[in-house]
Structure 1
Amino acid sequence: MEDQGSLHKAVKGEYFFTVGEILSEAWGKVYGAKLKIVGAMLIYLILASLTAGIINLFLDSQPYYDAQETFKGVFIDMLVGWLAAPITIPLSLGLLLLGYSRANGEELNIGSIFNYYVLVWPLVFASILITVITYIGLALLILPGIYLSIAYSFTLPLMVDKGLGIWGAMEVSRQAVTKHWFTVFGVNITLVLLTVLSAIPFGIGLIWTIPLVMIAQGVMYRKIFGWKIHDPINEAQ
């Protein structure tokens, strides 16, 4: 594709797109991809729910009502999330990358969402590191956390697609996104608003907006960093 970016151009900020361009291209690719992406989402939700349920069973967690117990409940929910991370994070990344594949005109294979368990620990450690740094940023007057959450948003795809290490992927994502941070933020906040609005009529609209969100992320990624066909299974061997 003519609008393929590259790592070299990305970190220098040599890319350009508008919110409208991203949404328009992504919407044009939703047709024909809805069933596979929504089906993959259902698989993810089922497995994530089963994993959380099993962990909660072992933790014997109970509902919490007063303030002290509510704090304890929040802590347990966070603990469950981290314990489930080795299952959920590679799977959620595989789900997201279905949208990336569609954005680049590739054939979709629902089974590909399971491909990234070969990179499970780097992906988990990267997610934990990003979360901790972002929480610290949120504690510092909110705005730094918002900036970092957007700046690091392409870290995991960069680890898979470009074979970068954790810190290298984080820095490439941050440097590239910072050059046009408000545009990337604009795309993301627009997608969030569309998702919220589409969920109002009994969630029916999510059949369209869930694929739209994932494909739009893939279109952005391609324009910023470029996209190559990547086989994490063979490369990890």
Structure 2
Amino acid sequence: MQEISAQNPYSPPQSDLQSSPSALAVPSVEEALARGYDFSIGEVISEAWKRVKGMKGLLIAATLVYIVAIQTISFAFGLALGLGFGVTESQTPMGQVAQVIASILAGAVCYPLAAGVAMLGIRRAADQKVSFDEMFSHFGLFVPLLVTGLLMTLLMYAGLLLLIIPGLYLSLAYQLAIPLAVERKLSPWQALEASRKAITRHWFKILGLYLTLCLITFLSMLPLGIGLVWTVPLLIISGGVLYRKIFGVLPPAN
């Protein structure tokens, strides 16, 4: 096994590396970006599907907590911005702007919960202990997650407003920024850049992965939405598998 420098802030203790096959050679972010990676769409989805068993209830519950939280907070921000309860208010130009602002603010407040959902998928992909408490364990990183999320949103909106294509590129390229800010404790800009550099290497293939997952999720909604019980966990764990293949996953802190 290649020796990992003790000065590397991302390196786990050697004794912990035996706990999971995925942790046998966890690289630093810089090493992961330098070594590159590859994957097949079918391989990622197949592996994620095998890991859905035993996770459906937990991941569905986590998703519902996130949805309820973001809807409730968005409604509260809407009231604060003067939307009120009237339908006509939200149809005015100012009302539509207020709705967008309320949604952005609600999403920003809920980034720790979004990180929790992502980390559940990553923990499962790395065969690590998965607990519902993960959903609420990242509020200590509220400020860096808030800054990461707001920077991400600002840059994506700027890209969409300018030429559209840069915004679409960044919307996918920043997909791993939030989990990187949590799992590797990167600064907001470091997390955004690490995610962008990693995903750019196989941008179109990753786009194909998420389009395939979106199609599977859409089809699962047709029979009264029952299939979402399987496809929502599949979507979350697939993101975890992709993250593990690119960066590896450090053992959780004790």
CA distance in 2, matches of 1:63, 1:13: 55
1:84 CA drift (Å): 2.5
TM-score by length of 2: 0.83
Distance 1:5 1:140, change over 3 A: farther
After superposition, residues 14-163 of structure 1 pair within 5 angstroms as: 14-61=36-83, 62-65=85-88, 69-163=91-185
Distance 1:200 1:141, change over 3 A: farther
1:71 CA drift (Å): 2.4
Counterpart contact for 1:97–1:214, Cα < 8 Å: no
Is 1:183 equivalent to 2:195 in the alignment? Answer: no
TM-score by length of 1: 0.88
Counterpart contact for 1:5–1:15, Cα < 8 Å: no
Distance 1:142 1:82, change over 3 A: closer
Q: Deviations over 1:149-200 (max 9, x none)?
A: 1111111111111111111111111111111111111111111221222122
- 1:30 match: secondary structure: coil
Q: Deviations over 1:16-55 (max 9, x none)?
A: 1010110000001001100111111222223333323333
1:94 CA drift (Å): 0.5
Is 1:229 equivalent to 2:251 in the alignment? Answer: yes
Counterpart contact for 2:26–2:250, Cα < 8 Å: no
Larger RCO of the pair (alpha carbons < 8 Å, separation 6+): 1
Name the % identity.
38
Q: CA RMSD in A?
A: 2.2
Structure 1 unaligned spans of 5+: none
Candidates 8, 11, 21, aligned match of 2:33: 11
CA distance in 2, matches of 1:115, 1:73: 35
CA distance in 2, matches of 1:44, 1:55: 16
Distance 1:73 1:198, change over 3 A: farther
Q: Deviations over 1:99-156 (max 9, x none)?
A: 1111111222112100111111111111111111111212233221111111111111
Deviates more, 1:145-154 or 1:81-90: 81-90
Which is greater in Rg?
2
In structure 1, the partner of 2:215 is 193
In structure 2, the partner of 1:169 is 191
Q: Deviations over 1:49-86 (max 9, x none)?
A: 332333333344144559x9432222111221233245
